[in-house]
């Protein structure tokens, strides 16, 4: 079952199309990372999913309900943390939790206490006196303590120092182990997200480039280095699934997006019979960067050398 589903989702701001024909599925129990550079449409997508914005066209369903009809019943099962969320600044951490608690019949006080300790939050300090990282942790706590079925995190690491990011991630990891939650996270901080997610979608310019299990993505992406005896002939035709093709003297480098052990090497040998071929596994960040570079017009041209 999919917790989030979008079908040809479009969202425009005036003439500008922030999200274009987005079709996306987030399976239940997954930690799904929606990655993309700034302005890719991640936040807009999340706002549509949370019914903070209406879709211009298409459909978005969250927990099986049309996002435009998300009501109290659904919100009881959704946790939302955003970098733009405004917490009442005059409240102390304790007051905020006291305020939130009665809204949720499923509020888990033990989990609340555990997270308070985990995040080292000062209960009696006012939110306006907290650092940005602390405030984000408060927001996360108030969104986790009722064990939502779906946790939506919109750019949660933005502006946080590495230490706080780590704590934040550890917190999410710990609670995600406790129950069968679905986490939908948007970010451009890929290194952090990589620690969390098992599914990913990459969004650029409002268009979804891919959506796949991280495991499978990392299995099919390889950074390949080919060392030839002689200078590479520039007229060699490379397959479309080789991205970021570069040559420097006798060395060729490219990203194989469809790696199969043996097959990629065979393809290389067809073109460079005497070359030494090595394939390196890639991190999610490297895959993301490769895909972004491939989006650029010159890279496409390069790929056709």
Partner 1 sequence: MKMIWHIMKKDLRAIWPLWLAWLGLIAIRIPLILYYLNSASEQALSLMSLVSGCAFLADAILIFSLVRSLVHEDTLAGDGSFWITRPIAGTQLLFAKLASALLVCVVSPLVVLVPTWWGFGFDGTEVAHVLTSYGQINSGLLVLAFLFAIVTRRGSSFWLVLISTVVAFMILGLASSMWLSMSVSFYERQILVYSGVVLVLFVVVQQFIKRRTWIAQSSLGVGALLTALVSPHCPRIDTSLSYEKRIDQPLTTTWNGVGAYFAKKDQESSLPDYVKGKLEIVIPKEYTRVELQLLKGEWIDSKGAVFQADGVDDQGNLLEAPAPAVSSPMQKDGQGAFTCDVPLTLSANWLWNKAQPWTPTGFFGRFRIMFIQTVTVADLKLVAGAKARTGSFVTRLVSVQSYKDAVKFTTIEAAAAGSGNDHVSLFAPSGGRLTQPRGSWYKRSIPMLWVRLEYDTSVYSLRSQEADGSKETTGRVDDSEELLAGGETHENLGERGWRFVKQVDQRVGYNDYDLKATNLNIVKASTP
Residue 76 vs 277, nearer CB to partner 1: 76
Residues 30-49 that bind partner 1 (CB under 8 A): 47
Burial code (b: 16+ CB inside 10 Å, e: under 16) for 75-94 equals: bebbbbbbbeeebeeebbbe
Minimum CB separation from partner 1 for residue 283, in Å? 32
Residue 95 vs 204, nearer CB to partner 1: 95
- Binding-site size for partner 1 (CB under 8 A) equals 24
Minimum CB separation from partner 1 for residue 82, in Å? 8
The interface region with partner 1, picked from 4-12, 95-103, 261-269, 283-291 by CB under 8 A, is 95-103
d(CA 262, CA 212): 23
Minimum CB separation from partner 1 for residue 136, in Å? 13
Beta bridge partners of 10: 57
Number of Cα atoms under 13 Å in the Cβ half of residue 160: 24
Residue 62 vs 111, nearer CB to partner 1: 62
Torsion of CA 263, 268, 270, 271, to 10 degrees: 160
Among 15, 16, 38, 102, binds partner 1 (CB under 8 A): 102
The interface region with partner 1, picked from 100-108, 172-180, 181-189, 259-267 by CB under 8 A, is 100-108
Give, as one character, the DSSP assignment of residue 1. Answer: -
Q: Starting at the earlier edge strand, list the strands of the sheet with 57-62.
A: 16-27, 2-13, 57-62, 65-66
d(CA 98, CA 20): 41
Among 4, 24, 34, 50, binds partner 1 (CB under 8 A): 50
Residue 72 vs 117, nearer CB to partner 1: 72
Minimum CB separation from partner 1 for residue 207, in Å? 23
d(CA 144, CA 140): 6
Among 21, 37, 58, 104, binds partner 1 (CB under 8 A): 104
**199 Cβ contact list (under 8 Å, min separation 6):** 26, 27, 30, 31, 32, 33, 211, 212, 213, 214
Residues 68-87 that bind partner 1 (CB under 8 A): 71-73, 75-76, 78, 80, 82, 84-87
Minimum CB separation from partner 1 for residue 77, in Å? 9
User: What DSSP letter does each residue of 191-247 carry, written as one string?
Assistant: HHHHHH-SEEEEEETTEEEEEEEHHHHHHH-EEEEEE-SSPPPTT----TTEEEEEE
Residue 102 vs 262, nearer CB to partner 1: 102
The answer to whether residue 53 forms part of the interface with partner 1 (CB under 8 A) is: yes
Minimum CB separation from partner 1 for residue 73, in Å? 8
**129 Cβ contact list (under 8 Å, min separation 6):** none
Contacts with partner 1 by CB under 8 A lie at: 47, 50, 52-53, 71-73, 75-76, 78, 80, 82, 84-88, 90, 95, 99-100, 102-104
């Amino acid at each position: 079952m999919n917790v989030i589903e979008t079908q040809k989702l479009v969202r425009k701001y005036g003439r500008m199309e922030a999200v274009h024909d987005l079709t996306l599925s987030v399976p239940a129990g997954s930690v799904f990372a929606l990655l993309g550079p700034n302005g890719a449409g991640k936040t807009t997508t999340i706002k549509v999913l949370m019914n903070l914005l209406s879709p211009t066209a298409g459909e978005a369903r969250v927990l099986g309900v049309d996002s435009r009809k998300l009501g109290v019943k659904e919100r009881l099962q959704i946790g939302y943390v955003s970098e733009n969320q405004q917490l009442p600044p005059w409240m102390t951490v304790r007051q905020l939790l006291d305020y939130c608690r009665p809204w949720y019949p499923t509020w888990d006080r033990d989990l609340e206490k555990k997270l308070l300790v985990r995040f080292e939050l000062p209960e009696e300090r006012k939110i306006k006196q907290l650092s940005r990282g602390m405030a984000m942790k408060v927001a996360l706590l108030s969104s986790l303590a009722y064990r939502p079925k779906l946790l939506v995190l919109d750019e949660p690491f933005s502006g946080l120092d590495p230490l706080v990011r780590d704590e934040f991630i550890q917190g999410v990891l710990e609670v995600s182990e406790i129950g069968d939650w679905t986490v939908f996270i948007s970010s451009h901080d890929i290194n952090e997200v990589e620690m969390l997610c098992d599914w990913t979608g990459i969004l650029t310019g409002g268009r979804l480039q891919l959506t796949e299990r991280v495991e499978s993505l990392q299995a099919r992406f390889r950074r390949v280095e080919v060392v030839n005896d002689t200078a590479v002939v520039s007229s060699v035709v490379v397959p479309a699934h080789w991205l970021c093709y570069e040559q420097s003297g006798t060395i060729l480098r490219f990203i194989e997006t469809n790696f199969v052990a043996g097959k990629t090497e065979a393809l290389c040998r067809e073109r460079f019979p005497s070359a030494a071929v090595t394939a390196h596994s890639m991190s999610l960040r490297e895959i993301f960067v490769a895909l972004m570079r491939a989006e650029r017009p010159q890279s496409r041209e390069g790929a056709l050398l």
